[in-house]
Amino acid sequence: MFTILPVPHEATTSYGKGTRNGPAAILKALKQVEEFDEELKLEIRPGKEYTIAKPASLASLVARYASLLSSNTIPVMLGGEHSITSAAVKTCAQKFKNLSVLQFDAHADLRDKYQGRKDSHACAIRRVLEICPAVQVGIRSISKEEYDWAEKSGQLKKMHLARKIEPVDKIEAQLSQNVYITIDVDVFDPSIIPSTGTPEPGGMLWYEVLDILKGVCATKNVVGFDVVELSPKKGDIVSDFTAARLVHKVMGYISSKKQ
């Protein structure tokens, strides 16, 4: 039902490096995650409910992603930096009409350009908005330029700051029926996932994020999701495991709706 697609792309990281090692660390930790989900009372097992594809480069990503969609599997993309998301969203938008994106992130990622590049990870959601609407959750780092643009374009109404997350039904009401979910692991408080390239204090906690994911997966048709920006650090296995557990939970939430 799911195909995990590792995309160890790293070209524009601006602070802590190492997200190219994210997919391998998540896959290693995923082997340790309990296959039975005690909340959902179902098993999510390798070779059964999910398979793991060979890693894709950014250049091959659109073609690889399109072939997964055409084989009716749900792609689970592991980053790598956040700039890989727009390629997946663009491919989903070709197959699914009425698509919107749910972004979990500390950063708004609404810059048109960053350090001279339009493909920077700091521009990830601005590129997505050129394809379809997006709802943003957990934001607590935004430039004045981004804020002014969000206000003028109306995007600000779909931006839920970490300090005041709206109830899940309000978030659901802003999404269309087909939803792509992108999770930058820095949406979590650094006490939950410290190993990320651009950490921000005051992030969301584990069950706060899960409750929104559970609600959205239950009410929407989730066509694909990604977990990006894990930057594994020696000595910190908590971040790797938590990211793997997150991938497993989201596969469970989507599966329990489809049963």
- β-pairing, 134-139 vs 36-37, is unpaired
What's the min distance (Å) between Cβ of 188 and Mn ion? 11
User: Does 220 engage in binding with Mn ion (CB under 5 A)?
Assistant: no
10 Å CB burial of residue 236 (0-12, 13-18, 19+) is middle
**Per CB under 5 A, which of residues 115..154 are in contact with Mn ion?**
none
Which residue lies nearer to Mn ion by CB, 196 or 255? 196
Q: Are 105 and 253 in contact (CB under 8 A)?
A: no
Q: Which is nearer to Mn ion, 146 or 186 (CB)?
A: 186
Please, what is the minimum distance in Å from the beta carbon of residue 146 to Mn ion? 12
Interacting span for Mn ion (CB under 5 A) from 15-23, 27-35, 97-105, 142-150: 97-105
Binding of residue 105 to Mn ion (CB under 5 A): yes
**Among the candidate windows 11-19, 20-28, 30-38, 184-192, which touches Mn ion by CB under 5 A?**
184-192
The yes or no reply on residue 189 touching Mn ion (CB under 5 A) is: no
Nearest to Mn ion of 175, 193 (CB atom): 193
Give the binding range for Mn ion (CB under 5 A) out of 101-109, 129-137, 165-173, 245-253: 101-109
Give the chain's end-to-end CA distance (angstroms, integer): 11
| Alpha-carbon span 143 to 109, nearest angstrom | 9
**Among 9, 20, 64, 107, which residue interacts with Mn ion (rule: CB under 5 A)?**
107
Closest distance between Mn ion and the C-beta of residue 184, in Å? 4
CA atoms within 13 A on the CB side of 73: 20
> If DSSP states are collapsed to H, E and C, what string results for 211-251?
HHHHHHHHHCEEEEEEEECECCCCCCHHHHHHHHHHHHHHH
Taking the C-alpha atoms of residue 171 and residue 158, their distance in angstroms, rounded to an integer, is: 8
DSSP state of 187: G
Q: What span, in angstroms and rounded, lies between the C-alpha atoms of 155 and 88? A: 21
Kindly tell me which of 7 and 106 has the beta carbon lying closer to Mn ion.
106
Cα angle 145-88-167, degrees, rounded to a multiple of 5: 60
Task: Candidates 17-25, 96-104, 180-188, 215-223: pick the segment binding Mn ion (CB under 5 A).
Answer: 180-188
Contact between 186 and Mn ion (CB under 5 A)? yes
What is the sign of the dihedral through the CA atoms of 110, 114, 116 and 119?
negative
The stretch among 35-43, 53-61, 106-114, 155-163 that binds Mn ion (CB under 5 A) is 106-114
- Interaction between residue 10 and Mn ion (CB under 5 A): no
Contacting residues toward Mn ion, per CB under 5 A: 105-107, 184, 186
